[in-house]
Amino acid sequence: MQARKGYGAAMKKDTIDKLIDRIDHIKEEDLQRFFVKLAEQQGFFQQVFESIQEGLILLDSKGKILFVNQAALKLFDKEPEHITPEDFCIFLGRDCSWNTVQQSHTAVSRDVEIFYPEHKFLNIFISPIGNKNQGHLILIRDETPQQKRNAENIEAERLNALTLLAAGVAHEIGNPLNSIGLHLQLLARKAKKLPPEYRNDFEELLKTAEGETTRLDVILKQFLQAIRPTKPIREPHNIEDIIMDVLKLLEPEIRQRGIQINTELQTGLPILSLDPVQIKQVFYNLIKNAYQAIPPAGGTILIKSGYTDDSVFVTVADTGCGISPEVMGSIYEPFLTTKSTGSGLGLLIVRRIVKEHGGSITLASQPGQGTTFTVFLPRVERTIRLLPPSVPS
């Protein structure tokens, strides 16, 4: 019905006038044939417009909407009769009203970002029809997939640059660092022969230097591992066993900090195909970040698991200091850390490992109340839901 109105309004007025003037002289079968052909053409053009993936809207000179295809309806989440020019002018911004578009008599193209009903990146193109402002044609192209590809390309280029940097770091810092560590060990041996009044101070200085050298070596290894992760060696494994191994490893430090660990691990979790060493590193980093974010007064960490038709998920939630909104947007950036002694590579490693396993990770945080990380790992066997059998009416 909507397309019929658009087509009728688009017909030239002189064609209709000629048809009316001669309608008394046209045979009934010719008139019938004319309207059949007209209906066929209308149906053909409607199918063409509906098959276009871009949103298409046709308006007359007064701004009345004559035609809207299904692609445009999905973007607006409205019925055709409820769409107005103000709806898509909202996409264009406050500086571009419908009156401005009508008076400009020129084509307008603008890239916009919307958040309702879905988060999308759109390109809106508005062009006048005819030489006497007979109406406007609006094309709305969904650029979201292209934006995602651009973001992935940027991330890939960034990682490639970091890979080259890592090779240089490994060569320029790794070997001298090993040499420094070796000479510090030799100095420590000679320090034992010094008189007692000099030995204690000298050994204390050497201990500090050795500690800093070890810390640099750890940062270097983490950096190389984050940039060039090894390919997962998959094997069937229970995620609960991995979590319990990590908790057993971190238990002394967690207990020393006075932090309570609560676990809600669902029984009968599906067996996953994963690299146990890499996944253990994922939860080691997440749990360690969780207890390091909790203030000295103490707090709790909740580790929860479950599964859906598609994946197994594990949540690590703490009652720590939380993450501010301005930091959350770049939390996975290398060398970004809120800790005085952190390297800023732990979460980068976590995300790379999870992605290598075909999974995903989500983050929710509120300053002063805590942070929650949830890791989703794909199941080996997925449950297929079948539609219930139809009941005869």
Determine, yes or no, domain membership for 24. Answer: yes
Q: Are residues 360 and 346 in the same domain?
A: yes
In terms of Cα–Cα distance, which of 34, 64, 378 is closest to 239?
378
Determine, yes or no, domain membership for 391. Answer: no
Pick the residue with more confidence: 212 or 334?
Answer: 212
Q: Are residues 165 and 262 in the same domain?
A: no
Determine, yes or no, domain membership for 389. Answer: no
DSSP letters for 62-112 = TS-EEEE-HHHHHHHTS-GGG--HHHHHHHH-TT--HHHHHHH-S-EEEEE
Pairing of strands 370-378, 360-366: antiparallel
Instruction: Give the number of other CB atoms < 10 A from CB of residue 393.
Output: 3
Q: Do 134 and 58 form a contact (C-beta atoms < 8 A)? A: no
118, two tokens: 């879905």
Domain of residue 61, residue span: 2-142
Q: Is the pLDDT of residue 385 over 90?
A: no
Pick the residue with more confidence: 126 or 342?
Answer: 126
Instruction: Give the number of other CB atoms < 10 A from CB of residue 276.
Output: 19
Q: Are residues 6 and 134 in the same domain?
A: yes
Determine, yes or no, domain membership for 393. Answer: no
Q: Are residues 188 and 266 in the same domain?
A: no
Q: Do 371 and 323 form a contact (C-beta atoms < 8 A)? A: yes
Q: Is the pLDDT of residue 251 over 50?
A: yes
* Number of domains composing the chain: 3
Partners of 153 in beta bridges = none
Determine, yes or no, domain membership for 107. Answer: yes
pLDDT digits (tens, 9 = 90+) for 56-84: 888 887 777 778 888 777 777 777 777 77
Q: Are residues 172 and 132 in the same domain?
A: no
* Angle of CA points 208, 212, 216, to nearest 5°: 170
182, two tokens: 């070796």
Q: How far lies 346's CA from each of 155, 232, 335, in Å? A: 17, 18, 9
Q: Is the pLDDT of residue 315 over 90?
A: yes
Determine, yes or no, domain membership for 392. Answer: no
Q: Are residues 154 and 93 in the same domain?
A: no
pLDDT digits (tens, 9 = 90+) for 11-34: 455 555 565 566 556 665 665 666
Q: Are residues 203 and 272 in the same domain?
A: no
Q: Are residues 24 and 138 in the same domain?
A: yes
Q: Are residues 104 and 151 in the same domain?
A: no
Determine, yes or no, domain membership for 337. Answer: yes
CA end-to-end span of the chain, whole Å?
30
pLDDT digits (tens, 9 = 90+) for 74-112: 777 777 777 777 776 666 665 566 777 777 777 777 777
Rg of the chain over Cα atoms, rounded to whole angstroms, equals 33
Q: Which residues contact 125 (CB under 8 A, 6 or more apart)?
A: 107, 108, 109, 138, 139, 140, 141
Q: Specify the pLDDT at position 75.
A: 73
Q: Are residues 252 and 160 in the same domain?
A: no
pTM higher than 0.75: no
Q: Are residues 33 and 156 in the same domain?
A: no
